[in-house]
Amino acid sequence: MKFNPAKAIHNLKQFGEFGDVNPSITDSSTYTFLKGQTMEETFLGHMEGCFLYSRHWNPSNKYLAEALAAMENTESAWITASGMAAITCSLLQLCSAGDHIITSVTTYGGTYAFLKNWLPKFKIEVSFVNITNLEEVKNSVKSNTKVIYTETVTNPLLQVSNIPELAKIAHDAGALLMVDNTFTPMIFSPAMLGADLVVYSMTKFINGKNDCVAGAICGSADFINKLSNVNDGTAMLLGPVLDPLRSSSILKNLNTLHIRMKQHSKNAQFLAENLINTGLKLTYPGLANHPQHELHKNMMNEEYGFGGMMAIDFGTMENAYAVMQRMQEAGVGYLAVSLGYFRTLFSCSGHSTSSEIPPDVQKKMGLSEGLVRFSVGLDNDIEETLETIKKCL
């Protein structure tokens, strides 16, 4: 079935209570009731459409959650104050002491640190695998495996996860597949490919302005209800609520995401196709030499392209630093972490966003100390950008 995430968002009718074309921002931490009984029933979760306290739920976050659920074609969604909150709350909701998680060793550094250093303190076992090796994933399954966790396109090596096959492995084992789709919103619809949960750092492409930190969890109504339960829901009890003002801002930006993703992809594709001819060791899923190029093509929502993320290995840290400094001085973009911004951002992953991964593990997984991750921006004249980059090289 062909699915169009942009159309799903466009079809939503979300008016403010005064007929506002943008839903009103709820500038309240608490809400009043006309009857005491209504407050009690709302607190117990029995009242639909009532709000009690903004940490629990608020109209602004509800509007954004509805839009994200539409975009992912899931029953429900929940908004968090960061991408890490979305990841940690989801995993802690699914797993208890004695459970087991299988995860990609190639993953965002903060996620790696949580899985490697934090979860073992609570007797949750984690196996790190090459997520593109399906036999290795299958051989890592145990009787207590609860979750297979991966990123659709991994950070920073840009490996592409085979979502349908990973879902089959997980479901055959009675486990769930959880996918971080931060790099590729709209390009992939993981829930349509078999994933049970989809998480985001909305800080990145979804918001696109680098002016706030936020996250999201998309999944079944049953899971979101458990996640937000006042007695044992992690998203409720750990308190990762997003401020309504930020939520409202992200919702507006979400409506331009389809335009932005197409331009990010177009620019990255152009740079990759031209820079690969200079002899650089460049990785981009849109190139035919990428190991999972065909897999990406088979899973993607085609009109949105291959994404805005690109990696170039300059061999040494010194080379990487020199090139990045020249590019910043020449106006190519900014030497900064994060991604999904309208300007190009670049950073040396092993010494920044993946620095939580020990050097020996980085080496084993193929992360060179000179690897630079590019988040290609929305440049109107990408040909000029290419020539500037070439001069910097």
CATH code 3.40.640.10 for 5-254: yes
Pick from 174, 172, 169, 176: which is nearest to 196 by CA?
176
Contact 320, 312 (CB under 8 A): no
**Tell me, what's the pLDDT at 18?**
82
End-to-end Cα, the chain, rounded Å: 45
Question: Which residues, in sequence order, are CB contacts of 183 under 8 Å at separation 6+?
Answer: 151, 152, 153, 155, 204, 205, 307, 309, 339
pLDDT in tens, 11-49: 998 888 888 898 888 888 988 877 777 777 776 665 566
> For residue 45, what are its two tokens?
């979760």
pLDDT in tens, 98-128: 999 999 999 999 999 999 999 999 999 999 9
The residues spanned by each domain of the chain are 5-254, 258-392
pLDDT in tens, 321-368: 999 999 999 999 999 999 999 999 999 875 666 667 777 777 777 778
What does the pLDDT average to over 81-85? 97
Instruction: Indicate the class that CATH gives domain 258-392.
Output: alpha beta
pLDDT in tens, 6-19: 999 999 988 888 88
